[in-house]
């Protein structure tokens, strides 16, 4: 009987301890708001250091080239490790689209968000195609991504866009 009382007493003390605020908490402690994001990278750095290198890996991994010097060459991954790598990069494109839509980074809540969401959708298409090793769908996802990037650059930064014919 005394072991039951001891168990109940320990349980009661444990529950009481859980309901007490920690001894180190003070009135000046504030929680980080859920809407606070680390936007250290400006748009130019985000594009140059995150989005463009990731997109380039995908574009360099789809389609084919027919060069006079090297001849016809398919660019698609040829083994599971390479397909897994491009699937990872496609996931990064999904998240890059999300990062572009963050408050403080989104230029507006109209076309910018449309392009950001379309970029994420193209990344998701590439992820799915890479998962099943579907070359045609992977190529189409890259084409969709290129179209989104081109349209966004023409709208928001046409003078320095590598995607425009200027």
Domain boundaries, the chain: 43-156
| Per-residue confidence band for 158, with pLDDT thresholds at 50, 70 and 90 | confident
Q: What is the dihedral of CA 97, 99, 103, 104, to 10 degrees?
A: -120
CATH top class, domain 43-156: mainly alpha
Mean pLDDT taken over the chain: 82
Residues 75 and 84: beta-carbon distance below 8 Å: no
Contacts of 63 (CB under 8 A, 6+ apart): 74, 75, 76, 139, 142
Residue 114 structure tokens: 């449309």
Average pLDDT (51-60) is: 97
User: Considering the entire predicted model, what is its pTM?
Assistant: 0.75
Residue 122 structure tokens: 């193209």
């Amino acid at each position: 009987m005394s072991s039951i009382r001891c168990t109940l007493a320990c349980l009661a003390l444990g529950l009481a301890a859980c309901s007490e605020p920690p001894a180190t908490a003070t009135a000046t402690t504030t929680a980080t708001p859920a809407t606070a994001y680390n936007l250290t990278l400006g748009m130019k750095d985000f594009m140059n250091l995150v989005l463009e290198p990731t997109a380039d890996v995908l574009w360099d991994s789809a389609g084919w080239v027919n060069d006079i010097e090297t001849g016809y060459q398919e660019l698609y991954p040829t083994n599971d490790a390479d397909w897994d790598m491009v699937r990872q990069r496609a996931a990064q494109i999904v998240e890059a689209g999300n990062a572009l839509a963050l408050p403080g980074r989104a230029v507006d809540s109209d076309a910018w968000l449309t392009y950001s969401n379309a970029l994420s959708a193209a990344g998701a298409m590439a992820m799915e195609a890479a998962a099943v090793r579907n070359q045609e769908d992977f190529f189409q996802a890259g084409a969709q991504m290129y179209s989104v990037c081109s349209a966004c650059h023409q709208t928001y930064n046409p003078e320095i866009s590598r995607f425009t014919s200027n």
